[in-house]
A and B are shown apart, each in its own frame.
Chain A
């Protein structure tokens, strides 16, 4: 579009990166906040441009490849295909929402905070657009480092230990993935410049025996399983979500967990299809166990943040199970649900953050009757809660319905057990809504005030997204069509 050197995926990475580096030098907090919001909106605009381009089928501006390490076959190649477009759009949408929703929060060393947030955005964009395995690994790790610093510096009381555990856990998984990547790389065919290649096309066309694929599957999958997280690799998640500052939790749960699902879609399913078929029951079984386990624990949670964290494990577990069924309707549902889950959970975190800012507590037992004082907040929260339960008319319903259809075609029993999660989700969500918002207000919640205009605005954006995708999901399907068909051809 702008010539051969500046393409959209390029801009999506480098605008947040450069903006983030600049932010470190902005000393005043209001200026830092304004600058980061401004650049996040620009990134959002560029992402919208990418959607327009893909709609008009002008795909030249969407791919780019630059020679990086020619001798070993790694190149800086990025492109925006189906699921990449969806997830970069999610990233581009979430950051302005997060910045606006947390605009009134006070941060010490705000320049470092916003700088690190923008660097995290750059890393996340890079993961979703990289079409070179080494580049993918680079961005996978690099997305982690800013988040480590963000949680450890601005988080809650037990933040250092929780974030350390998160980091080491994820790092170990990523290193195993690195071994898998190198092993696959050594089996790719030669290019004119080097013996092997890291390009995604080479990875997709590599010939591996079933035994090799099995070994590789676990190397890759453990890394993605830790990221998502899937039972039993989930133990880092509730503590980290609880201890991080809310803006970072929004990034973690809204976008970062999608890295794991994305990795499965782009780098696992097409590369080791035989092993996927071999182990699909194991993975789906683990996911379903995780869904029920997480939902049951969510029932008993008193802390709002931990409740949403466990609820998130349940939702992601369903998406993972759906992807591994390798059925078209399930994969399409999972893709659209990735976007929906991101929006919904960010909405939930915004509400929790608003309550915590005003009242200073997050415990359900200490709250109650907020509806008396803040009716608008309550209505908005109720809608988001319905989306969490996946009621019809909400975006999550479309995704869950499709995922359950696919799971049903795969195996009836898994569907039956996983279907229990719908009931459990209704129980813990409505229980939370009832206890926190309705009922009698106590001394603490009597001081609750209605939310301000900009907070109402941002929540309305979330609501609009919920309903819009709920009644008209077709554009989402168009967006991810090519990825789904590509995956399915690999399985034939």
Chain B
């Protein structure tokens, strides 16, 4: 509760503060300060389960240890994002405090999407998450690609929201309790009424769009590529994992009883996502676009949790979210500093900036899923969950083969950094401050620590 209210308030403060901030660098400090306050308030609520604001939400939102831990992770990743890439947000355009305000509104949406208890609040959360992103995508106003990406995102996003609303309406009309509450949809284990089945499929489509699962992923590469890289970093991590938490929450509480009936569909979607994401990433020359496709491939792996829908799956999804966000925020932070976004642009980074290169290796190893990194633990939990479910074993084999393919494009960057020479300056030295390097090292250490002791997160999820 604290997080929702405070992020909304702070967003407004940032917005109006823009009138008063004299220098371009001030909004960042206010943003970081505000985020730290929100994080502290959220941790307080996590420990005591008592919000500061005694607002009666009439069960529209529910706050338990699981949700609050996820919000803590999302806020911490955003803090890391601000610390690593905050300076680059200032370089996007003129309205710096508006950008931060929008980011805080997105965070508010993320918190709502993690704690919703009715379909209406789900809709609210998803929309509050997405609409500021449409603006942020197009914030590089003079760049045609950015404008195109924003329009594309807005149109396809609105379309999918329409489908989601239609699905919600069908579910409302179809269920015997006549209720929006996801618990009350109460499908017995028998055959689903037609209205509910259609509603389920529509909701599946809408949520798949939001998390960029195939075949609803076509907007992702263009939008991620066109948006300013620093906002791509935010979209590809925090917003996507929030989408997944909303996804699994919906399907576990509302449709958990009839899982057998829709499991095959999710399996096919997961397999398609893995295949398309990994295969297309192999052929990319631009690292930014490659990371966009890689986020689709990682989404494919996270879909295994929706497929499995057991305790290991939920714990694993949170772990995977944390691991994936840390690694991707890190690698994007390095990418933003590069002069050339192609793979060849990384040539020789190992020699010129060893700290950046070594931390980039750890991030890439984590994304591939090499043991000792948090990314491996995430994938491991997903595989355990999927095998524990016991159906559709082919999906697990398919997933690991696709993970092997992913090693190809992640390692191409490692090869460029260490095994190829370049005479050009890969990164401008003025951009790399000592604090930046220290933060990268801290992120890398966090990834390794989580890789050895994943129970630091998964142990916190259940009281």
Contacts and interface: CB of A to CB of B under 8 A. Distances in A.
Given A69-B453, A179-B387, A186-B388, A145 B370 contact: yes
Given A69-B454, A167-B411, A141 B371 contact: yes
A182 interface: yes
Given A152-B415, A176-B400, A138 B372 contact: yes
Interface in B366-395: 369-372, 380, 383-384, 387-388
Interface in A121-168: 137-138, 141-142, 145, 149, 152-153, 160, 164, 167-168
A142 B372 contact: yes
B265 interface: no
B408 A182 contact: no
A214 to B, nearest CB: 13
Given A137-B371, A152-B415, A71 B404 contact: no
A182 B455 contact: no
Contacts of A153: 418-419
Given A69-B453, A141-B370, A152-B415, A168 B404 contact: yes
Interface string B293-326: 0000000000000000000000000000000000
B112 interface: no
Nearest to A70: B455
A182 B384 contact: yes
Given A71-B459, A178-B383, A179-B387, A172 B401 contact: yes
A138, A149, A172, A175 — most chain B CB neighbours (10 Å): A175
A179 B415 contact: no
Given A69-B454, A153-B418, A175 B404 contact: yes
Main secondary structure of the interface of B (DSSP, over half): helix
Contacts of A152: 415, 418-419
A103 interface: no
Given A69-B455, A172-B401, A186-B384, A179 B396 contact: yes
A21 to B, nearest CB: 13
Contacts of B458: 71
Contact of B403 (A68, A141, A175, A182): A175
Contacts of A71: 455, 458-459
Main secondary structure of the interface of A (DSSP, over half): helix
A149 B442 CA distance: 23
- Most chain A beta-carbon contacts within 10 A, residue among B404, B411, B453, B454: B404
A179 B371 contact: no
Contacts of B365: 145
Nearest to A219: B397
A175 B384 contact: no
B166 interface: no
A171 interface: yes
A72 B458 CA distance: 10
Interface residues of B, number: 27
B403 A149 contact: no
Contact of A186 (B380, B387, B453, B455): B387
Interface in A171-206: 171-172, 175-176, 178-179, 182-183, 185-186
B407 interface: yes
Nearest to B420: A160
A164 B415 contact: yes
B418 A149 contact: yes
B433 to A, nearest CB: 23
Interface in A68-85: 68-72
A149 B370 CA distance: 14
B371 A138 contact: yes
A167 B407 contact: yes
Interface in A41-81: 68-72
A403 to B, nearest CB: 33
B383 A182 contact: yes
A172 B403 CA distance: 8
Contacts of B388: 186
B274 to A, nearest CB: 13
Contacts of B418: 149, 152-153
B387 A142 contact: no
Given A69-B453, A69-B455, A138-B371, A179 B400 contact: yes
B387 A183 contact: yes
Given A168-B407, A175-B404, A160 B415 contact: yes
Contacts of A70: 455
Contacts of A186: 384, 387-388
A149 B397 CA distance: 28
Contacts of B369: 175
Given A137-B371, A152-B415, A164-B415, A172 B455 contact: no
Interface in A5-49: none
B370 A175 contact: no
Nearest to B415: A160
Given A137-B371, A186-B388, A179 B407 contact: no
A186 B310 CA distance: 14
B401 A175 contact: yes
Nearest to B412: A164
Interface of A: 68-72, 137-138, 141-142, 145, 149, 152-153, 160, 164, 167-168, 171-172, 175-176, 178-179, 182-183, 185-186
Given A164-B411, A172-B404, 8 more contacts: A71-B458, A138-B371, A142-B370, A171-B404, A179-B387, A182-B383, A183-B387, A186-B387
Interface of B: 365, 369-372, 380, 383-384, 387-388, 396-397, 400-401, 403-404, 407-408, 411, 415, 418-419, 453-455, 458-459
11 contacts: A69-B454, A71-B459, A72-B384, A171-B407, A172-B404, A176-B400, A178-B380, A178-B383, A179-B396, A182-B387, A185-B384
Give 5 closest A-B pairs by Cβ, nearest first.
A172-B404, A175-B400, A138-B371, A141-B371, A152-B419
